[in-house]
Amino acid sequence: MTAAPRTPWGTGLTVAGFAAAVTGTAITVLSLGLLRVHPLVAVVLNLIAVGGLAPTVWGWRRAAVLRWLALGAGVGVVAAWLVLAVLAAQR
């Protein structure tokens, strides 16, 4: 019987944090540009993009390295949407 490999939490969470920062920043900046066009355009395009990428990212959760990127991408999307909701509420 072989021992299960140890989970690299430090490295994995660092990768997830970086992925969250990049994803969150990209979505926020692009959505702010789309909000200038029309708020409904920003919402619809965000839903289409996330809906299209969700099955691929969901499949990454079982791969050793990609699971950390999937975690970071999910956190980044949620954080960006929260930031956009706060900015929209201030208008």
Looking from the CA of 45 toward its CB, the CA atoms found within 13 Å total 14
Average pLDDT over residues 68-82: 96
- Model pLDDT, residue 86: 93
Q: Could you state, in order of their start, the residue ranges of all structural domains in the chain?
A: 13-89
Give pLDDT tens digits for 6-44.
888 999 999 999 999 999 999 999 999 998 899 899 999
Question: Which residues fall within 8 angstroms of residue 24, CB to CB, at 6 or more apart?
Answer: 75, 76, 77, 79, 80, 83
